[in-house]
Structure 1
Amino acid sequence: MLLLEDTFSALEQIKAGSIDMIFADPPYFLSNDGITCQAGKMVSVNKGSWDKIASLEEKHAFNRRWIRLCRQALSLNGTIWISGTLHNIYSIGMALEQEGFQIINNITWQKTNPPPNLACRCFTHSTETILWAQKNEKKAKHCFHYQLMKEQNEGKQMRDVWVGSLTPKGEKTEGRHPTQKPLYLLRRIIEASTDEGDIVLDPFCGSSTTGVAAKQLGRRYIGIDKEREYIELSVRRLKLEEEHERV
């Protein structure tokens, strides 16, 4: 199910305790009129008005609000995964604890092909952080398919540093989203922390990589985005996945 709606109003309508897992890729708030490199070309880092914020206080209030609503939607044993960069992840981490979550893991996603640093005034940004958290309640028992993750890691315990490429062109045939995550990343997250038939929610769904992965793995999906362009992109991607399933 896809909802073309403001994240806050949509989350308020989700039945309390009905969601098994949430993956959130919220605005990073890095649109500061700077430059970056994309496909060998110098381009603006600005993503859109949704990626701008007036102050640190406003950013943290934004994060606390949507995280609070996500906690309400999650089941007792449900978990939330949130991706981010240095621009927002520290606010996210504090907001999680302030809103009654306990962080399970701090995943470092190391990109094998990050864009080069054009300014040459700092180290190349080549990682993102993904926080995995559960409700900070004694009775909460989160789902973790430890053995499956071990099998996927050649029989060794899977560590909290995941190495892989950025989203390949083959996953952008239906259109582009500026912060689209690769499919392998969402498949691992969903496989690790849900069972077949579980409900997965993405409150900032963008191009719905979460939805494609959920569909491939037999999970149910709810995606929310306030931008019609991205909901339409999500529809195209999910329809394409359905066509692949029929073949």
Structure 2
Amino acid sequence: MNPFFDETNFTLYHGNCLDILKQIPDNSIDMVFADPPYMLSNGGFSIQSGKRVCVNKGEWDKSNGFSADFKFQNEWIESCKRILKPSGTIWISGTYHSIYQCGFALQLNGYHILNDIAWFKPNAAPNLSCRFFTASHETLIWARKDKKAKHTFNYESMKNGQWTEDFLKKPNLQMRSVWAINTPKASEKTFGKHPTQKPFDLLRRIVLASTNQGDTILDPFTGSSTTGLAAFFYKRKFIGIDIEEKYLDLSIKRFQELKNRK
């Protein structure tokens, strides 16, 4: 298994995650962050930067029907359980289109769910049809591989850290399960953007909450590798996988720019 890119504990693989995950050793990963396809590329429209745009993101985001979609979600979640250390945890991000399938797959595979997080987006795009509530959050599920194991949770950092980007987080109080974090800043899209790109502030919090320096983090749908940038910045090791070469190229540009700034 030859990496697409490998430098300074930042490793990228090009291909289908189901194939590449099979080659990752058992019990070798401390934390997985996954933002799997939402299966929403159906010819619809949304709002982006005040403009009406098509929601089609690529073949990787097209639904193959409920059964096939769930089979895919279940397979990669099952593969991640094998590669996680007994104390390892997994984070999965999604909307209502995908997150319930992922939550059921976690339970089906014997994970122990620790939290569900509501990521509130204060700057969310409006609803075009005006027939539904405006979608202004995503759900993240945090789960442990082994119910009896002791997972990493950096409680003091979450309680007393500097989280000025989040108006809901009150100083010196426990961090709650609703996080107010804006979508990615313009500076995070300097070299281009991924259609489901996550903000650095979100991944910063996840990395600092549930891993320690030197830990290995894997993202099976790495996209433009915000997970990897947060991992690298905070001295963790990173493995990213993506089926689209153009997003791996974007990941490399973002990584090299961050490395040069450090």
TM range (shorter): over 0.9
Determine the C-alpha separation between the residues in 2 that align with 1:206 and 1:108. 22
Which residue in 2 is equivalent to 1:113?
Answer: 123
For 1:216, the equivalent position in structure 2 comes to 233
Q: How does 1:104-143 map to 2 (within 5 A)?
A: 104-138=114-148, 140-143=149-152
* TM-score between the two structures when normalised by the length of structure 1: 0.97
- How big is the shift at 1:4? 0.8
Structure 2 CA distance for aligned equivalents of residues 51 and 17 of structure 1: 29
Which runs of no fewer than 5 residues in structure 1 stay unpaired?
none
Distance in 1 between residues matched to 2:249 and 2:157, nearest whole Å: 34
| Alignment partner of 1:148 is 2:146 | no
Contact conserved, 2:194 with 2:224, CA < 8 A, in 1? yes
For 1:146 and 1:164, the matched residues in 2 are separated by 19
1:235-246 equivalences in 2 (<5 Å): 235-245=252-262
Cα deviation, 1:198-232, whole Å, max 9, x if unaligned, reads 00000000000001100110000000001110110
2:253 maps to amino acid: R
The structure 1 segments of at least 4 consecutive aligned residues displaced by more than 2 Å after TM superposition are none
Q: 2:185 corresponds to which residue?
A: 168
Alignment of 1:61-140 (within 5 A): 61-138=71-148, 140=149
SS at 2:41 equivalent:
coil
Instruction: Choose the corresponding residue for 2:64, options 54, 62, 81.
Output: 54
The runs of 5 or more residues in structure 2 that have no matched partner are 1-10, 162-168
Within 2, Cα distance between the matches of 1:118 and 1:226? 31
- Output one character per residue of 1:65-110: Cα deviation in whole Å (capped at 9) or x when no partner: 0000000110000100000001000100000000110110000000
Aligned mates of 1:125, 1:194 — CA distance in 2: 30
SS in 1 for 2:187: helix
- Displacement of 1:115: 0.8
1:190 aligned residue (207, 223, 248) = 207
Cα separation, 2, equivalents of 1:137 and 1:143: 13
Aligned to 2:27: 17
Give 1:137 deviation, angstroms.
3.6
- Aligned Cα root-mean-square deviation (Å): 0.8
- Residue type of the partner of 1:111? K
